[in-house]
Amino acid sequence: MAELLQSINLGGISFIAIGQNILKIILVIIAVKLSIKLFGTFSDRFYQKQAESRFVDDTKKINTMSALTKSIITYTIYFIGATMIITIMGIPVSSILATAGIGGLAIGFGAQNLVRDVITGFFILFEDQYAVGDYISLDKHSGIVEDIGIRITKIRGFNGDLHIVPNGNVSNVTNHSRGDMRIMFDVRIPLEEDIDKATKVIERFFEEYRENEPQLTNGPRVLGVADIADSWVVLRIWAKSKNMEQWRIEREIKKGIKDALDKEGIETPYPRRVILNK
């Protein structure tokens, strides 16, 4: 037995102790994963109850705080898990802190981007620049904000791409979701048609549409003649709707105008060419 233990403990290295440490590290990793999932579930349930409360009107802020809370929980649990693993490996945390103090300058230069991302992330949240669910344009990216963390912002583009932008890189932000959204487009009417008649036909459709569309906040209405071309007159249409509803409403208005004009026999204009034979 003594020879067996001696063979296992070669050169002062206990393979049994190494195996135990590896097992402890695996257990810590499993505990970290489970903790993140568990606390994330608790956070989702808590903020879901807040969102369903009749005293809360701004669900976007609730979703933003939920995403931020999960981000903080994740980083905190990772930090605790890393500290436990370092301790299991027999490396004193105090020595690491001392080393960090000695090499603080080098670490500081290396962590500049991380610190900038975190600080900018807090300013984004405190200044309420955008929230989860907002439609924004961020430098060269546009889409819906899916997640705001303390370090990164995730934006889902309309083609399905997920853009992950470090908060420190956020410089120029355009938030398209604050306030009502404008709808404006042109309708072409044949030059020989009665413009007043066409305008009345369109306005009659608008009256019916307003009664059945609660997402409209202003209009729609015909602003007037915007342009006159060789074969048609251009009427400009204007309206306002609640944000994120403007595209659907614009499509419906365009279809409704087309149907209303067709019923009155007002045709779609088309380019014409006159050929004179001498």
Handedness of CA 43, 243, 179, 117 (dihedral sign): positive
Q: Give every CB contact of residue 194 below 8 A, 6+ residues apart in sequence.
A: none
pLDDT band at 229 (very low <50, low <70, confident <90, very high): confident
Is the pLDDT confidence value at 105 over 50?
no
pLDDT band at 15 (very low <50, low <70, confident <90, very high): low
- pLDDT score at 172: 83
pLDDT band at 102 (very low <50, low <70, confident <90, very high): very low
Structural domains for the chain: 2-102 (1.10.287.1260), 118-175 (2.30.30.60), 181-263 (3.30.70.100)
pLDDT band at 70 (very low <50, low <70, confident <90, very high): confident
Is the pLDDT confidence value at 60 over 50?
yes
The edge-to-edge listing of strands for the beta sheet with 216-228 is 181-190, 232-241, 216-228
pLDDT band at 220 (very low <50, low <70, confident <90, very high): very high
In b/e form, how buried is each residue of 76-105, taking b as 16+ CB within 10 angstroms?
A: ebeeebeebbeebeeeeeeeeeeeeeeeee
- pLDDT score at 259: 93
**144 or 177, higher pLDDT:** 144
Mean pLDDT of 146-157: 86
pLDDT band at 69 (very low <50, low <70, confident <90, very high): confident
Is the pLDDT confidence value at 273 over 70?
no
The token pair that represents 54 in the structure block:
């009749």
In b/e form, how buried is each residue of 17-35, taking b as 16+ CB within 10 angstroms?
A: eeeeeeeeeeebeeebeeb
**245 or 119, higher pLDDT:** 245
CA angle 249, 254, 255 (to 5 degrees): 100
Is the pLDDT confidence value at 2 over 50?
no
Q: Give every CB contact of residue 236 below 8 A, 6+ residues apart in sequence.
A: 184, 185, 186, 187, 222, 223, 224, 225, 226
Lowest mean pLDDT among 37-51, 94-108, 172-186: 94-108
Distance linking the first and last C-alpha atoms of the chain? 121
Please give the model's pTM, rounded to 2 decimal places: 0.58
Mean pLDDT of 227-246: 89
% of the chain with per-residue pLDDT over 90: 22
- pLDDT score at 8: 47
| CA–CA distances in Å: residue 162 to residues 44, 68, 95, 139, 145 | 22, 18, 41, 15, 10
Between CA 245 and CA 132 the distance in angstroms is 17
Between CA 258 and CA 186 the distance in angstroms is 12
